[in-house]
Chain A
Amino acid sequence: MASPKVIVLRTCDGETFEVDESVVYVSETIKNMIEDGCGDGVIPLPNVSSKIFPKVIEYCKKHVSDFESLKKTSNGDEKEKDKDDDSSKKGKEAVPDVEEDAEEKARVEELKEWETTYMDIDQQVLFDLLQAANYLNIKGLLLMAAEKAASMIRGKTPEQIRETFNIKNDFTPEEYEEVRRENAWAFE
């Protein structure tokens, strides 16, 4: 096999990063840029900072092998986000052979552990990650980050949510009461 091609990318604050082509291919945005012929020069990423980029690359490196096997079977990451599936279970859609079942389970377990450690980040980093994943079009990372943000909301009262995300309550007491009452009794 020929040595892997290295892509040079420049973040919005001028720093450059050199990353293997297979790793950056996890980002649909970068993949499209390379396929459009920009792969030989420096690829500019005006919406991504040098602070968050390494974190994104860490994700991409971990998910390269997933992506490689997907590339072989279909054209790219076609998995539709299922609204009813409230976790980003990536590998579980395909039905595995029984012999590989145990291996698959171990792999999924390990990935879950890695994800828990990876997502142990503060709010600022989480938001940067959300924006970067959105701009770079990395579906799995976007879902994971959105899920983490959602987990910071679940089970909290409105006041606690405001506290967490530093949001001002702009309801008047009457407006608040109206919405609260409607929420409580009128619908589901």
Chain B
Amino acid sequence: MLPAAGEPAAGDSWGMLACLCAVLWHLPAVPALNRTGDPGPGPSIQKTYDLTRYLEHQLRSLAGTYLNYLGPPFNEPDFNPPRLGAETLPRATVNLDVWRSLNDKLRLTQNYEAYSHLLCYLRGLDRQAATAELRRSLAHFCTSLQGLLGSIAGVMAALGYPLPQPLPGTEPTRAPGPAHSDFLQKMDDFWLLKELQTWLWRSAKDFNRLKKKTQPPPAAVTLHLEAHGF
């Protein structure tokens, strides 16, 4: 894409290119370098990235406490139970090529929908037997997760993408069936926490990628040509 570097010399594309190169070469010498208007979605993408790192940190301590509450073997490293009822959880892992080729809108939408679902499940965690402190930590984490959703929504709005609306009937319900035993519930809890962690890892990479994409390349800047030679 060509920058708005003034009127191109008529008919001479090579000349235009030379002109462009010269402009870029002299860039540091140009005193008045004005960017157009607002900073764009950059700061909010950065904030969202920072938020995923913060949540990751929060989750680490929450998960540690929660898994201790579930008791061994749930809190043992390398524990990998069958993934049964957790089929409806949004999966973070995806084919690398697919991930790379996601367009911004899809990338953001997947993040938004995933956290909406995960938040819903997290809220449905009914752990009356847990200590008051653990319940408070859970509530606090839910609030932070809500903040993340808001942040992602902000980025989507800044980039002009519509927020995904939940279709009626696709709301995740975590109501266990009548035969849902306590142990199965524990396994569901385990996978919920694990999926949350994987999503936060993935989101950090998603937003890092978005950050790089939306950083305006130098050529896209409008120049006030006060530099010598023009």
Decide whether A and B assemble into one complex.
no
Please list the residues of chain A having a beta carbon within 8 angstroms of any beta carbon in chain B. Answer: none
